[in-house]
Structure 1
Amino acid sequence: MADTTLAVRPAPAPALDETMLAMDVVDTLRHADRLVERELEGDARRAALKQRLREIYSGQGIAVPETILDQGVAALEQHRFTYTPSPPSLGRSLATLWVTRARWGRVVGFALAALVLAGGGWWFGVHVPAERTRIAEQQELKEGLPRALQAEHDRVLAATTLQGPRDRAARLLAEGRAAAGAGALGDARARLAGLQELQRNLVQEYQIRIVSRPGEQSGVWRVPQANPRARNFYLIVEALDRDGRPVEVPVTSEEDGTTARVAKWGLHVPEAEFERVRQEKMRSGLIGDPVVGQKRAGELEPRWSVPVTGGAILKW
């Protein structure tokens, strides 16, 4: 009986383009080359590489012609089919940045956005308000302050006929105008405040009375620092309007030079006047005539009915 068993034959090796096969050989050689003894040189090294290639491709069922093996070995030695990076340059750096933009672009974008937001915050939150303030101050110096200075000067003239206050008002007006013209906003405002204070003092009208209420001092004495052997005597007085309400007036302390608006202070008087008031209060517990001064409208200084030295204190 005839043997009908079909013989199993291996599938034909895939046909590869010679160029592609040569490139594959070179790539395989790059890996196979590490398995070859480094000391082999020349023909011995090439023969070892070719033998290793035959074993690799034979294991894959691929028949590689001898000429392809020779071309692959030659190409490896000539560094064909090998990518050699271009040397560092501006063009290479720009190309690298462009290729990797997806990696660093988002970070740079966030940084730029943060910078824009910070710049915008500074511009609208600091620069613009400061510029508006500067423009407003310039406008005030150019128009507002001169008008305000003139208006307060005119109010002073309307409040008094005395030459002293009028001369003082004229000086403050001239100094204020000069400061405004020079761009000195603080100085101009200070002169305006001086005119306002002068006008306010001129229109005030009040009596100055010795304090004689139970439980309150009517006088005190001090030992001055400049002369420990001497004594200064003060009557404690207060300023009251026609309805008996306290009036705050500017008073300067002779002890430390401090000026404040107060309704009550110590009035420096000679010892004899101090003693007269003390004896009167000791006899009856009251002061017969507590009025020691009168401040009239249009005047700056009170008219005193008792002798005074011109000094005062704010604390006792």
Structure 2
Amino acid sequence: MADQAALTGQDAGKAPQSLDEVMLAMDVVDTLRHQENLVSRELGEEVRDAQLLQRLRDIYRGQGIEVPDRILLEGVRALKEQRFAYTPPGPSFSRTVARAWINRGRVGRTLLTIAALLGLGWSAYQFGVVEPARQRAAQEQARTERERTDLAERLPAALEQGHEDVLREAQLPAARERADQILADGKAAIERKDAEGARQAINNLEALRADLRREYILRIVSRPGEPTGIWRVPPRNPAGRNYYLIVEPVAPDGRILSLPVTSEEDGQTVTTSKWGVRVSEATAMQVQQDKNDDGIVQRNRLGEKRRGYLDVDYQMPVLGGAILRW
């Protein structure tokens, strides 16, 4: 009871004055927290405090440390008052800010990583999805606008000009009729907003004009080492023969032209400078006899293609049809 009286006495109310005493009081509190369960909780408070003091004396004496009773009593009082106990503050904005500041390094790295990932994702999306889509849309818009302008202005004008150019070259009604038909097809394509169809009509007029302007002599080949004529056994008539004269188109300036020719054997069209024209046996024999006289075909002009005309004006009878290989 003397210990209890000391606990309530005036001297016990005095706090430790030195840092060592404060640290010692904190150690007493810590010891009490670990040893308090050794004291029965069924005892009264006075008896319990006395037992605590006695237990503390024994503990520190066992360690060779003499602790004044006032320090022990101060530790007991501090334990009761929770003076050295840490009570974490409740949730608050200031606490959140403080924790964020404490963890600013880790949080900053995390935020920087997230920002970098978001930036990479945004860049990939922009350059991989948005930008190609924008370019495609811009190209499609430009193409649509260009096609609209072509259909409204350029293609009609080019179609009319091509038709006029053909009419200036044409010397036969058949060529003019063909030009008129191509013009009608082109206008119909423009009406239905078919720009490709209109361009094809313009190309057809240009090809017709080029064909009309072309002029050449269809000359029978009679050079040494090259055949002048050949014959073939037709697949459907093994007992018959087809005769051909080998010809080449020669322009007025002496150039050998290359023209599209369709083979009657396989239907293939090839641009070539030499092909065989089918003729009768009599015509073939006549040319061969001409060549046998002196090795040269004197009458070597099979026909002539004049400017303004579409077809060759043959000077020898021909049966039509051509071959490309022999």
Same fold (TM over 0.5): yes
**Equivalent residue in structure 1 for 2:242, among 216, 232, 238:** 232
> 2:187 aligns to what?
177
Q: Quote the offset at 1:247 in angstroms.
A: 2.7
Are 2:288 and 1:278 equivalent residues in the alignment? Answer: yes
Q: Given that residues 207 and 240 in structure 1 are in contact (C-alpha distance below 8 angstroms), is that contact kept between their aligned partners in structure 2?
A: yes
Q: Secondary structure at the match of 1:215?
A: coil
Letter in 1 for 2:161: A
**Equivalent residue in structure 2 for 1:265, among 258, 272, 275:** 275
Letter in 1 for 2:20: A
> 1:315 aligns to what?
325
**Equivalent residue in structure 2 for 1:196, among 171, 192, 206:** 206
Distance in 2 (CA, whole Å) between partners of 1:105 and 1:152 is 63
Q: CA RMSD in A?
A: 4.0
Q: Given that residues 142 and 181 in structure 1 are in contact (C-alpha distance below 8 angstroms), is that contact kept between their aligned partners in structure 2?
A: no
Q: Secondary structure at the match of 1:12?
A: helix
1:237-264 Cα shifts (integer Å, max 9, x gaps)? 1111223222333322112222334332
Letter in 2 for 1:232: N
Letter in 2 for 1:184: D
Structure with higher helix content: 2
Q: Quote the offset at 1:294 in angstroms.
A: 1.4
Unaligned runs of 5+ in 1: 1-8, 85-97
Are 2:157 and 1:147 equivalent residues in the alignment? Answer: yes
Give the TM-score normalised by the residue count of structure 2. Answer: 0.68
Letter in 2 for 1:143: E
Q: Quote the offset at 1:183 in angstroms.
A: 2.6
Q: Quote the offset at 1:191 in angstroms.
A: 1.5
**Equivalent residue in structure 2 for 1:250, among 256, 260, 269:** 260
Distance in 2 (CA, whole Å) between partners of 1:43 and 1:109 is 63
Q: Secondary structure at the match of 1:146?
A: helix
**Equivalent residue in structure 2 for 1:12, among 15, 21, 30:** 21
Query: Bigger shift: 146-155 or 258-267?
Result: 258-267
> 1:212 aligns to what?
222
> 2:117 aligns to what?
107
Q: Quote the offset at 1:210 in angstroms.
A: 0.4
Letter in 2 for 1:137: E
Distance in 1 (CA, whole Å) between partners of 2:132 and 2:19 is 80
Q: Quote the offset at 1:195 in angstroms.
A: 0.9
Summarize the alignment of residues 46-61 of structure 1 with structure 2, pairs less than 5 Å apart.
Answer: none
Query: Bigger shift: 99-108 or 249-258?
Result: 99-108
1:21-67 Cα shifts (integer Å, max 9, x gaps)? 9xx97xx97xx79xx9xxx9x959xx9xx99xx79x989x9866446
Q: Quote the offset at 1:153 in angstroms.
A: 0.7
Distance in 2 (CA, whole Å) between partners of 1:300 and 1:313 is 20
> 1:187 aligns to what?
197
Q: Given that residues 290 and 299 in structure 2 are in contact (C-alpha distance below 8 angstroms), is that contact kept between their aligned partners in structure 1?
A: no
Size of the alignment, in residue pairs? 267
Query: Bigger shift: 232-241 or 109-118?
Result: 109-118
Unaligned runs of 5+ in 2: 1-17, 43-47, 92-106
Q: Quote the offset at 1:278 in angstroms.
A: 1.9
Q: Quote the offset at 1:315 in angstroms.
A: 2.4
Q: Quote the offset at 1:224 in angstroms.
A: 3.0
Q: Given that residues 201 and 249 in structure 1 are in contact (C-alpha distance below 8 angstroms), is that contact kept between their aligned partners in structure 2?
A: no
> 1:160 aligns to what?
170
Q: Quote the offset at 1:185 in angstroms.
A: 2.6
CA gap 1:226/1:136 in 2 versus in 1, 3 angstroms: farther
Q: Given that residues 166 and 176 in structure 2 are in contact (C-alpha distance below 8 angstroms), is that contact kept between their aligned partners in structure 1?
A: yes
Q: Quote the offset at 1:107 in angstroms.
A: 1.8
Distance in 1 (CA, whole Å) between partners of 2:169 and 2:19 is 129
Distance in 2 (CA, whole Å) between partners of 1:43 and 1:186 is 103
1:47-88 Cα shifts (integer Å, max 9, x gaps)? 9xx99xx79x989x986644654676xx99xxx75989xxxx
Residue identity over aligned pairs, in percent, reads 34
1:3-34 Cα shifts (integer Å, max 9, x gaps)? xxxxxx99321599xxxx9xx97xx97xx79x
Summarize the alignment of residues 34-113 of structure 1 with structure 2, pairs less than 5 Å apart.
Answer: 65-66=75-76, 69=79, 81=88, 101-113=111-123
Distance in 2 (CA, whole Å) between partners of 1:211 and 1:204 is 20
CA gap 1:200/1:127 in 2 versus in 1, 3 angstroms: same
**Equivalent residue in structure 1 for 2:251, among 198, 220, 241:** 241
Give the TM-score normalised by the residue count of structure 1. Answer: 0.69
CA gap 1:222/1:69 in 2 versus in 1, 3 angstroms: farther
Distance in 2 (CA, whole Å) between partners of 1:187 and 1:134 is 16
Q: Given that residues 210 and 292 in structure 1 are in contact (C-alpha distance below 8 angstroms), is that contact kept between their aligned partners in structure 2?
A: yes
